[in-house]
Amino acid sequence: MTDRSLPPRSAIAPEHTWNAPSVFASVEAWAAEREGVAAALPAFESRFKGHLADGPATLVEFFDSLSDLYGRAGKVLVYAGMESSVDTTNQAAAAMDSQANSLYSQVLAATAFAGPEILAIGRDTISAWMEQEPRLRVYAHYFDNLFRQQAHIRSAEVEAILGQLADPFGSVATTARLLANADLQFRPATGADGSTVPVAQSTIAELMLAPDRELRRTAWESYADGYLSCKNAFANNLATALKQTVFLARVRGHGSALESALFPYNIPVEVFHNLIDTFRRHLPIWHRYWTLRRRALGVDTLHPYDVWAPLTDAQPQVPYTQAVEWIAEGMRPLGNEYVEVLRQGCLRDRWVDIYPNQGKRQGAFSSGWKGTYPFIMMSYNNSLNSLSTLAHELGHSMHSYLAWQHQPMIYSDYSLFVAEVASNFNQAMVRAHLLATQDDPGFQIALIEEAMYNLHRYLFQMPTLARFELEMHERTERGEGLTASLMIERMADLFEEGYGGEMAVDRDRVGITWAQFGHLYTDFYVFQYATGISAAHALAQGILDGKPGAADAYLEFLKAGGSLYPLDALKLAGVDLTSPAPVEAAFGVLAGYIDRLERLVG
C-alpha cells in the first residue's frame, strides 16, 4: 500500500452517495417537517388520550393517525442520521441528528398512553371489537403481544416518563459514537517499506487485510491505542449504559437485564445460554484454525493482527458494479423480482453510499423507514470483503423493502433477533454461487478467507462479547463497580480462552476490544449475530439443496416483518432456534471451510 489520504465528503461524486434528496429535498424541507411533527403532537394527544375506550372506530382512527405520525417522525430521523453518518465532523449534521432524536423521544412520550389504555379496555372487549370492526383485525398480533407484556407495562404516567427517558438515555450511545468516530486520533500505520497510511474508522478493516505484516501490526496497535487513550471515558460511558439497562429492567419488574432485553420479543433466556454453551463446546474448532493459519502464514507466533492476513497473493479486485452483478446472480434462486429490485436499488435508485471519505463513521449499516428507500452506508474498496459486506447489507435492505411492501407501519420493522438472518443468508448464497462458478484456486482461497473473516466476527468475536456483556450486566445488578481495568482484564481473559494458547495476547490491546463495538449499547444484541448466522446457513442450505418450497418460505419470512414473534417467523422460514441444533450446524459449516482451506493451502 502507498501513502494516501481520504477525500473530503465534498469530493465524493453524487452518483456514489445515497439518495438523501429522495427523503427530503433540502435541509430546509427537513426542518419544516420536524417542526410540523412537533406541532402535531398536542392535537394527537388531545384527540386520543383518554378516548381509546370510546369504541372500535376511535381505535381504528388512532392506529391510522399513529402510523402517519410515526411515518413522518421516522423520515425526519432517517434523514438526519444520513447526514451525520457520512461526516461525523459536520457539526450542523450532528445538531440535526440530536434534534431528530429529541423529536422521536417526544413522539414516544406523546403516544405512551396507548398501551395502558388498551390494556384497561381488556382482552375480551378488544376481541369483540375485532369481530365488529374488520379493520382492527390486522392488529391481532399487536394486541396479543401487548397483553402478553401486561405485567411489565406501567401506568400511563410512568410510561410517558419512560418515553421521555429515551432521548437522554440514548446519549450514552451517541457519546460512544462521537468519541470513536469524531474525536479519537490514530497515529498512521507504517509499512515495511517505511511508507505511512492513515488509520481511520473507514480504513482499519482494509488495513487488517494487508499482506504487509508490519503495516497490519502498526495499524492494529494504533487502533487499539487510540481506544486505550480514552479507556476511562469509554468504560464510564458503558457502565452508565449498563446501569440504565438494569434500572429499566427493575422498573418493569424483570428478573434480570437479560430477561428484560429478550422479553419484548418473546425469546426465552435459554436461547442465549444455548448459544454460549454451544460456542464454548466448539472452541477447539477455532483453536484448530489458529494453528492452520499460523502454519499457512509461515510465522512462529500468531498475533491478533494476523487473523485477517491474506493467505494468497491472488486477491481479486472486484469493482462495485461487478459486485452487484455477482450478488444478483447469487440471489437468483429467490426469483427475478427480488433480483431486479436489488439491482435497481444499487445501480439506479442510489440506495448505497458507496466509498470512504473523511469523517465517515465506521462499519456499514442498512437504514430507512417505511416510505423511504432501504439505504446502505459502507466504505467499498473493491475487495471480496467489500462485496460480502454489500451482500450482507442488501440482505437487511431487501428484508426491509419486502416488509414495507407487505406490512402496515406497525409491523414494518423487525426485531434484531431476525435481522442478522437475512444479511448472512445473502452472504451464504453469494459465496455458494462464487465457489461453484469461480474455480481458480487463488480466488477460492480468497473467498474462503472472506467467509472465515465473517465467521470469525459472528461465531467468535460476537459470542465472546456476549459473554463479556452478560458478566458486566450481572456485576452491575450486584452493585459492583466497573472500571476500565476490570473490563480490559475480563475481556482479555475471554479472548485468551478463545485463542487456546495458539495466539500471542497483548492483554491491554486485546482487552480494549469491548470499546470498539458500539453494538454493546444495544442490550444483548451481539449474541444475536451468532444465532442469526446459524439460522441463515440452515435456510440457505435448504434452498441450495433444492428443498421444495424453501425459497417461497424464506420470502414469506422476509415479508412478515414484525407481524409474528421472531422465533415463529423463523419457524415459518424453516428453522427452530429454540434448539441448539442450528448453532451446532453452523460450527459444522465453519469446520467444513477449515477442511477446504487446509486442502487448498496444502
Instruction: Give the catalytic positions in this structure.
Output: 393
Q: List b or e across 462-496, with b for residues whose CB sees 16 or more CB atoms inside 10 angstroms.
A: bbbbbbbbbbbbebbbeeeebebebbbebbbbbbe
Q: What is the C-alpha separation between 484 and 44, in angstroms, rounded?
A: 46
Give the list of residues 6+ apart from residue 290 with CB closer than 8 angstroms, or none: 302, 499, 500, 502, 503
- DSSP 3-state percent helix, strand, coil across the chain (nearest 5): 70, 0, 25
Distances (CA, A) of 92 to 80, 180, 243, 466: 10, 18, 31, 35
DSSP state letters, 235-258: HHHHHHHHHHHHHHHHHTT-SSHH
Q: What is the C-alpha separation between 522 and 136, in angstroms, rounded?
A: 32
Q: What secondary structure letter does DSSP report for 136? A: G
Q: Residue 197 carries which side chain, given as an amino acid letter?
A: V
Residue pair 388/546 in contact by the 8 Å Cβ criterion: no
Say whether 197 sits in a helix, a strand or coil: strand
For 190, the enclosing helix (H) or strand (E) is: strand 189-190
- Going by C-alpha positions, the residue among 3, 471, 566 that lies closest to residue 268 is 566
Q: What secondary structure letter does DSSP report for 365? A: E
Residue pair 517/537 in contact by the 8 Å Cβ criterion: no
Q: Residue with C-alpha cell 460476537? A: 462
Residue pair 374/396 in contact by the 8 Å Cβ criterion: yes
Q: What is the C-alpha separation between 540 and 425, in angstroms, rounded?
A: 6
For 473, the enclosing helix (H) or strand (E) is: helix 462-477
Residue pair 277/286 in contact by the 8 Å Cβ criterion: no
Q: What is the C-alpha separation between 119 and 394, in angstroms, rounded?
A: 38
Cell of 215: 503495516
Q: What is the C-alpha separation between 392 and 390, in angstroms, rounded?
A: 5
Residue pair 562/407 in contact by the 8 Å Cβ criterion: yes
- Going by C-alpha positions, the residue among 346, 380, 345 that lies closest to residue 360 is 380
- Going by C-alpha positions, the residue among 527, 333, 533, 322 that lies closest to residue 433 is 333
Give the list of residues 6+ apart from residue 581 with CB closer than 8 angstroms, or none: none
Q: How far apart are the first and last CA of the chain?
A: 28
Dump strand ranges (E) for 33-125.
none
